[in-house]
Structure 1
């Protein structure tokens, strides 16, 4: 256990208020209940991951935190403030940034313009400094600043989606399936960057991920979701070693 990890653990043990707290959240699509009363916490300085099979409700939870769709029941608080009923653009102003599933970059804009869009939520005072920072994290993007987003490879588009989220200087970074459809080598790079953001910058990360092995190796803590319910939680290490988790998500035995 590193010093940083033990400090985080001490803070959690001391019952400090989490940065993000989800309590009893139920979300519906029409009459279909997608989240069935979810409880979850993310403390400052942690990487927390949510794993589960495709269609378990992981992305729905991520989107509900960001206000679209809205939670029909329950409560979501961020930095002690109730954000359950807030509009998405208001939530984005509270130092929460999201890199959504499927990347959703602006394909006709250049890499540089995409990064400007990320920064424009806040003042542009730190733009040059932030641009330099993401170009250091993602050297691939630095070479392609004038290239259109749509012409980038899948891995580069994922890097751009994360970099764009970082341009708003978030305290909490929400990442939805960052490894989806990417080659193993690129996946490794993306996860190393997430680790670096957490360790060097102290960034708090909530990661929704189907690649359970990588996600649990990286995360301080994790939750397992099955059909809209949280069924298990523990440290990343505990869940990696859990026989049920191994059978369902780590040994090619996906449901």
Structure 2
């Protein structure tokens, strides 16, 4: 049996090492060190983030700080100065105001029924996208009902049907979602036996409903009433009950 040359031995060991999990471990270790250093630099005393925070705090301090400085009042004074600058900026305050106005509009008594039919809700969604459906020759929206392991119901839906290049997409990639919970101890039902539940989370056009500021359409307002208000949803339909009706 011939002895291995040094070159052959090196090639053999390098190959074995490359095929093991050790290179990945070494890379992970160095990547972690790299990110740690980058984050330290960003938030450190001389990093960009640190400098911006320092400048913001300096700008918030009163010009006559030296003459009014008292240790016991320092925290309250800085907090008040920051609050005044925050309020005077107008941007954040205006966003909060507009969000509150939108929610108040939805939660008016004449727009917030005790119960909202899931069928009516989905019909409002269909009606909202009929024009796009006619232009693109869509037969029906993509609507999926999925029961949760905890007894709730997840509804994922998208105006565009599951066909063409989008065929086989995951339910999590659909633009809209409504998540409903039911009382598992004493499930509430209507006179027809349909389950009645509460919406605890929702997504509209890819955004969580908590981030949506303006509720324009009937569909948006119904979802907002379910999420922000006391309205409950009556599950009185199936996922395949809806179409755009362009081929009827």
The bucket for the TM-score relative to the shorter chain is under 0.3
Q: Rg larger in 1 or in 2?
A: 2
TM-score (norm 1): 0.24
Which TM-score applies when normalising by structure 2?
A: 0.25
Higher strand share: 1
